[in-house]
Amino acid sequence: PKQPVKVLVTGAAGQIGYAIVAMIARGLMLGPDQPVILHMLDLPRAAEALDGVRMELIDAALPLLRGVLATSDEAEAFQGVSVAVLIGGWPRKEGMERKDLIAKNVSIYKSQASALQQHAAPNCKVVLVANPANTNALVLKEFGPSIPAKNITCLTRLDHNRALGQVAEKLNVHVGDVKNAIIWGNHSSTQFPDASHATARTDLGEKPVKQLVADEKWLKEEFVSTVQQRGAAVIKARKQSSSLSAASAACDHVRDWILGTPKGTWVSMGVYSDGSYGVPEGLFYSFPVTCEKGEWSIVQGLQIDDFARSKMEASANELEEEKSIAMNIL
């Protein structure tokens, strides 16, 4: 029998936290045969609500769940964890400028970087969900010099899944038959959702989505803006931001990272740029990646046309800007 793995969820009393803890404890993140111990962190002011989540997890009688810790102490929360899902952050309030949002989160991720270095398991894998996700990942890296860059990632899988969903709706096929969409860049409205390398399985076999859609205007305009604006559309409809889809995407992200991507399939992950596709090094940027044995690698050799290039650059520019704001605060 497998030893339980300790998984940290920060912001666990929040919306996404509430949705994800049950998913993790049901094996959706690490597999149906992998027992887990959940470490849940939230702020002291949310301690009571967090304790309610802990009670509900016990009440759900989940056989894979071998322990639950609910705490507002960072050192205790990070102790011995092999996976850290960082969702807790300062929320964007109406009228708040990006600069202020970055500043608030820099101080949170500075402190979590040191907790991670001091207390987490040596090869702990981290996924940053809290926004601005890419720049929070960078702050974590800057303040956690002993954490290997390859162990820090940020979540763009929700955007990736949204892209697959839009293509499936358009073609009227099952979403499981669509693959290899790409989200390039920042988890923000400058991201570039790219379906030009995607394929879909049909009665005639696997075909390029470009050929099946046969509507360049849709692929370059409506598809791109629908995926970019989907978060806003959900907020407008639900009066709350995406949470079950975000939780599900974070499980997909970690599962594929640790257990591997299927052969011939890639997914999108925000990772530390090595300069691939001309993206400046030293930014956390969303790329197409494949994963094997717990390591991601950026898919190489895809053709990038001028349209894609300009969108990719715009998102990189925004990330450079966020980086310089964060670095000025550091």
Q: Name the site residues for ligand NAX (rule: CB under 6 A).
A: 10-11, 13-17, 41-43, 46, 87-89, 91, 108, 129-131, 133, 155, 158, 187, 241-243, 246
DSSP codes joined into one string, 184-240: EB-SSTT-EEE-TT-EEEETTEEEEHHHHH--HHIIIIIHHHHHHHHHHHHHHHHSS
The annotation status of 15 as a binding-site residue, yes or no, is yes
Task: Identify which of residues 71 and 196 has a Cβ nearer to ligand NAX in the complex.
Answer: 71
Is residue 279 helix, strand or coil?
coil
Q: How far is the CB of 240 from ligand NAX (least distance, A)?
A: 7
DSSP 293: T
Contact yes or no for 78/115 (Cβ under 8 A): yes
Q: Which residue is nearest to ligand NAX (CB)?
A: 14
Residue 204 neighbours by CB under 8 Å, 6+ apart = none
User: Cα separations (Å) of 25 from 73, 96, 120?
Assistant: 22, 35, 20
By beta-carbon proximity to ligand NAX, the closer residue of 53 and 198 is 53
Asked if residue 11 belongs to a known ligand binding site, the reply is: yes
Give the bridge partners for 193, in sequence order: 183
121 assigned ligand-binding residue: no
Q: What angle do CA 50, 51, 57 make, to 5 degrees?
A: 95
**How far apart, in whole angstroms, are the C-alpha atoms of residue 214 and residue 192?**
20
Question: 17: annotated binding-site residue?
Answer: yes
CB of 130 to ligand NAX, least distance (A): 4
Name the residue nearer to ligand NAX (CB basis): 187 or 255. 187
Contact 308, 316 (CB under 8 A): no
Residues 6+ positions from 324 with CB-CB distance below 8 Å: none
CA–CA dist 255, 249 (Å, integer): 10
Nearer to ligand NAX, 191 or 261 (CB): 191
Q: Is 255 annotated as a binding residue?
A: no
CB of 23 to ligand NAX, least distance (A): 14
- The annotation status of 224 as a binding-site residue, yes or no, is no
Task: Count CA atoms within 13 Å of residue 192 on its CB side.
Answer: 23
- Annotated catalytic residue within 39, 160, 187, 197: 187
- Least CB distance to ligand NAX at residue 247 (A): 9
Nearer to ligand NAX, 87 or 195 (CB): 87
Q: What does the block give as tokens for 143?
A: 């303040």
57 versus 212: smaller Cβ distance to ligand NAX: 57
CB of 259 to ligand NAX, least distance (A): 21
Among the listed residues 224, 235, 217, the one whose alpha carbon sits nearest the alpha carbon of residue 190: 224
Q: Is 187 a catalytic residue?
A: yes
16 is in an annotated binding site: yes
Nearest-approach distance from CB 217 to ligand NAX, in angstroms: 27
Are 229 and 189 in contact by the 8 Å Cβ rule? The answer is yes
What residues act catalytically? 187
Q: Please enumerate, by residue number, every residue annotated as part of a binding site for NAD(+).
A: 11-17, 42, 105, 129-131
Q: Please enumerate, by residue number, every residue annotated as part of a binding site for substrate.
A: 92, 98, 131, 162
